Structure 1
Amino acid sequence: MNIQVNGHLDIQAVDNIIQTFNKSSSKSKLTLDLRFVTGISIECISWLVIVLLSLKKEKVKISIIAPSDDNAVLYKLKMWRFFDVLKEEDIYNSIKKQIYVHPFVNKHWIISLKLLKSNKDVRSIINGVLDDLDFCFKNLNYTKNDIGHLSTVVSEACMNVLDHAGDDAIGVFAAELIRMEPKRLVISLADDGCGLRTSLSRSNANATDWDDETVIRQALTKGVSGVVDGDRGLGLPAVVTKLSQYRGALYIRSGQGSMRHRMTHEGTLEEVFSSEEVPVPGTLISVSLPPATN
């Protein structure tokens, strides 16, 4: 089946891809045509990779028609190492040609995609992208002490995938420093695991009866998830606490809903829940950090 994506590739567009594919009569092959994509967000790239990897688990043959060399989307996909992560041989156009553009000349500083399957992968991510994260944090005027706290946010968010997604799940980590206004660092994590409801039901029998908004709110509440580890922090609640201190924002999507959680510059907490038809299990988490405030 051939699916062409036009315009901006966002999370809803990725949902449409899987919904269209699921309705097709032939589910052995998907050709994804990205030639006419004009933009792509970091939240979308991690979700797209998870959707495609989930299809590959089901033995679906994935082919990509890549954007042309003069399309900025191709540059971002290459910097994210999108095609390397998918390990896809059937890629059309001139994607295998190398382009040499230093990321500093762009308005985005991109940290390549990383797969998450074990604690070792988390350590590898933290160690492997430490210099990049350090650059991003400093670019946002954070102090050395701040950087230590914010590195914990990254670690806890990664470990959350391993704690709750399930043994056979795959997680994807991506990060991007957006140097245009509003300037910010965005870290995105997606997994194809069981989702928050199933995960929380392991330690809370009532979780199966909660609505989607309650599930997400409970996942962000200290002591609800049941993870106990003396060497660990407190998972998503710890992430929320740190983000609130730095006026950051959290987007979390699981089940049939999503929530945006942010602390305003005035110190007011904003939480907005939206019902959505999410076509695949799993969870998407996005963390956004603004420049440091004096």
Structure 2
Amino acid sequence: MADNKPHPEKPHSDKPRGGWLARFAPGVRKIVSRRSNETPDNLWVKDPDTGEMLYRSDLEAALWVTPSGRHMRLNAEQRLRYTFDDGQFEAIDTPDVPEDPLKFSDGKSYKDRLGAARKAAGRKDTMMIGFGEIDGTPAVVIVQDFSFMGGSLGTAAGEAFVAAAHAAIACEVPLVCFTAAGGARMQEGALSLMQMARSTLAVQELKAAQLPYVVVLTDPTTGGVTASYAMLGDVHLAEPGALIGFAGARVIESTIREKLPPGFQRAEYLQEKGMVDKVVARPDLPETLGAVLSMLMGGKRRAA
């Protein structure tokens, strides 16, 4: 394990608290709408629901939750910092795997696509693993980053999941998985589908060791990930509005030839149907996770 203990960003303002950020952070100012061509691209972020231009630093202080309540997607490092106490964690290296085993090309070689994704993300693949404490309870957390090739499940992601499970077992602590995926990675063919079975076996190892496995479903969680480790947790939490399902809504409608109900495949709808245990707003996730993990561990704090 290598030390990696960054701290979450804090808002830099001495103005009175107010506006939509009052419940997230003190000292922030009211956001005003501006046209995107009036400011640099990295200073303002567009609310996908309302079109309002939001000041980036204020949005970061709000953990990337917009005034409209949209929980915007996070990268893996942001997710780990927002989850662990004081943003402190130890990064666990993910295993190396053979690259481009099928020599796949879809107009652009898989090797080139991997290279571009790695350059943009600054890491090997979609998964990132950290070890630390969540509201005082030690845990291993694995995060799936949708920005890395749509969070697609390939051999690297499968190996990372197995490594995270084995780290949790070695430390005798729970495993928490934040899912975000568009499905299996087509460039790896059947090898990607095998990761569904491998990750399922890793979950069974956790259960054999009597260690909790908790899943936090984020937007979007679909395809083979939903059909495997995303739905094998002891407890399933979800962020508000997260898209969760296997096949897309249009595919389902064309198959059953019926109109789907409003909110179908969204976190709130799945909570009503019993597929999700609780929908939790992002600022409340660490406290909720800590309570769940402490309860499942019987109040014990086991760590190597």
Structure whose CA Rg is larger: 2
Q: Which has the higher strand share?
A: 1
